[in-house]
Amino acid sequence: MSLFSYIDEIFFSFFFIDLRFDPSACSPGLSIFDNNTNLRQKTYLIGNRTCRLMTTGWIHGIHYWSMRIISRGPFGRVVLGIVPGHFDISMDHYPGITADSFGFYIFNGNKYNNGQFAAFSVESIQNGDVVGVLLDLDAKTLTYYKNGYLLGTAFGHLLTRNNTKFYPTVTFYDFGS
């Protein structure tokens, strides 16, 4: 058997989904526009404001998405991560505050889980940067990229419950983000 015939026998499945913000899963004070592709904190509310992407999450598989930071706001307090379906977006919560949510805080490069933080990246995320997220639910890892370059694997052993569905999410703290 040649290498080419072996490759022909391997089944590959790639799905490309146009990620959009889910209006039914956004905190008050956030505005979705441009056909649900852009999100902005529109009020001066104190606290974290979270919005999920998509109405369907993932239980298994390997998933990659990226987001361009148009405006970090005055201080850059933005968290990118994943949350389970039961995550309460109406509260002052961010990805990483619970044991089953995980986040990367672009302001200072820390990673968050279970309300605890640890240094993760020294790379500064600025306006115009594209942050990529690779979620491998089979290997239970969460990896981040900046403008196509690897920042690293933030979480190497995601603690997940069986059939926990995870959703990409973004959290803003500052007006104008």
* pLDDT tens string 127-172: 999 999 999 999 999 999 999 999 999 999 887 667 889 999 988 8
Q: What is the CATH number of the domain that holds 33?
A: 2.60.120.920
In a domain, 40, yes or no: yes
- Whether residue 130 lies inside any domain: the answer is yes
Each residue's pLDDT tens digit, 102-116: 999 998 999 999 999
Task: Confirm whether 140 is domain-assigned.
Answer: yes
Question: Is residue 110 within 8 Å of residue 133, measured between CB atoms?
Answer: no
Structural domain including 48 reads: 18-172
Q: Which of residues 173 and 143 earns the better pLDDT score? A: 143
- Tell me whether residue 54 is in a domain: yes
In whole angstroms, how far apart are CA 91 and each of 36, 42, 139?
Answer: 22, 17, 30
Number of structural domains (the chain) is: 1
Q: Does 124 fall in a domain?
A: yes
In a domain, 50, yes or no: yes
Residue 49 lies in a domain: yes
Give the pTM: 0.84
